[in-house]
Amino acid sequence: MNEVVYLYGALGVVLIGFYGLARAGHVLQQLLAVNVMGAGVFMLLLALATRHTPADAVPQALVLTGIVVAISTLALGLALIRRLAVEARQAEKRSDQEALHD
């Protein structure tokens, strides 16, 4: 019975992340929605790992590795979003300066 609750919970978290991704208006919101979907996948893997009497270590190791990869991907995504914002500000300043000189 507990596995079913975890499976439905994982499905719910993935669907919430998918809904957030579909409704996201900003790149940062999209990045966070993808991370929520990843958390749902981790929950699904852990729920499937506990189905056996001794818990299977391979899905647990995959989840731990996935968490590290997700954090690294989040950090890279945040750095790219920040860089994109800086470049957009600089381009706006350049266009404003060109408009003043014309």
How confident is residue 102, by pLDDT bands cut at 50, 70 and 90?
A: low
1: pLDDT strictly greater than 80? no
Give the residue extent of every domain in the chain.
Answer: 2-101
28-69 pLDDT, tens digit each: 999 999 999 999 999 998 888 877 778 778 888 998 999 999
What is the rounded average pLDDT of the residues 1-19?
Answer: 90
Say which CATH architecture domain 2-101 belongs to.
Orthogonal Bundle (1.10)
Identify which has the larger pLDDT, 102 or 15. Answer: 15
67-99 pLDDT, tens digit each: 999 999 999 999 999 999 999 999 988 888 887
Cα–Cα distance between 45 and 58 in angstroms, integer?
10
What is the rounded average pLDDT of the residues 9-15?
Answer: 94
pTM score: 0.79
Cα–Cα distance between 45 and 63 in angstroms, integer?
7
25: pLDDT strictly greater than 70? yes
Cα–Cα distance between 15 and 63 in angstroms, integer?
19
6: pLDDT strictly greater than 90? no
